[in-house]
Amino acid sequence: MIGFVAGFESALPEGMSLAEPVRALMTWLEDGGQAFTSTSTGKRFLNVHPVAHIDGVWSHLSFQTDPEFMTYWAGNDALNARVAVLARCGGDGSVLAQWQSAGGPQYVFLGSEGDAFLLTDDPVAFVQIVTMGYYSIEERATLEATPERNWTDFNGPDPWPEPRAVKEWVEAQFAVRYPACGAALMAGAAENGFGAWLDRQTG
């Protein structure tokens, strides 16, 4: 069977590729046994918060492809060539994606209720957002809270299973430190150029 990362890259639109930090994270996760097959959908996914077994998966964040996502999200087949889902991030169906903009690849959020905004153009910042320990990212406000608060909002007093192993790997690999919340990694993303671009494509 083809490896998860190799299969993932082959499913990306023509001319689009993974940035090296994103590929490095995915390879580390795959080598660590985090590629699973969903028992409900039969679809392969790459868990971003390492666990010993699929039954221990506790977060909605996982790398997985959806080549036709923009067809049903925006009703526009052509957008699938410019926007590629990289990860599911919310229990409501929200995703994180790579947008091939005129200025180069950028990372964006697409919500189940039609919300869309830019996260960052920095692949290392994207890696940090994905791995910092959020349970379910469903809106911009999620990233303004800490991952621990996000966990508590959904799971009550159960202890937050902080993903220390992947965070320590990211910090050592890229010489970075994690801020308290994802919003701190979104510097320069206040002006929603992605949303404006989408409006032009679908208006």
Give the confidence band of 88 by pLDDT, cuts at 50, 70, 90: very high
pLDDT tens digits, one per residue of 12-41 = 999 999 999 999 999 999 999 999 999 888
- What is the SS3 assignment for the chain? CCCHHHHHHHCCCCCCCCCHHHHHHHHHHHHCCCEEECCCCCCEEEECCCCCCHHHCCCCCEECCCCCHHHHHHCCHHHHHCEEEEEECCCCCCEEEEEEECCEEEEEEECCCCCEEEEECCHHHHHHHHHCCCCCCCCHHHHCCCHHHHHHHHHCCCCCCCCHHHHHHHHHHHCCCCCCCHHHHCCCCCCCHHHHHHHHHHC
pTM of the model: 0.96
pLDDT per residue as tens digits for the range 151-203: 999 999 999 999 999 999 999 999 999 999 999 999 665 566 888 888 888 87
Report domain extents, the chain. Answer: 4-202
